Structure 1
């Protein structure tokens, strides 16, 4: 299944750093998503774009994970020649990640 089937996302960017959240629709899915969508997996998923570290912050009370991706915006939104390097496009891309959740 795609991550967007059980979660939605919010995002932001500052300079060359993008932060993307994954927020589950149902709290019962949080642990499964937490175990599946790791910082390493997100770094691998965005390997062509994210050149720096990916750090994950867990927010279990609201069923969310927040990924801070460094060196992710081609030098920053105002410096990049790429049209689609804003954080919002990265959150949409992350929601298309294929995941396998245990029953």
Structure 2
């Protein structure tokens, strides 16, 4: 699906759920050689869905606009012979 097609689908989802507390976010990185320092937020460069505008792509922070249950999933891949580390932080608390 093209980016234009994704945008149209996302807009349709927003209209369909207007007035509800729906939050959905899906993104990926197209730059697979990105290197971050310790404690830096990951800023996705390919936002596919951001219903509810919870993700701020300028600072890499996801701010839940309503209380509820949120599910986060990630895939982290490193090159052979290299190590990668990932930490999820919520309200300043580290989740292992």
TM range (shorter): under 0.3
In the superposition, the TM-score normalised over structure 2's length comes to 0.28
Please say which structure displays the higher CA radius of gyration.
2
Give the helix-richer structure, 1 or 2: 1
In the superposition, the TM-score normalised over structure 1's length comes to 0.26
Which structure carries more relative contact order (alpha carbon 8 Å, separation 6+)?
1
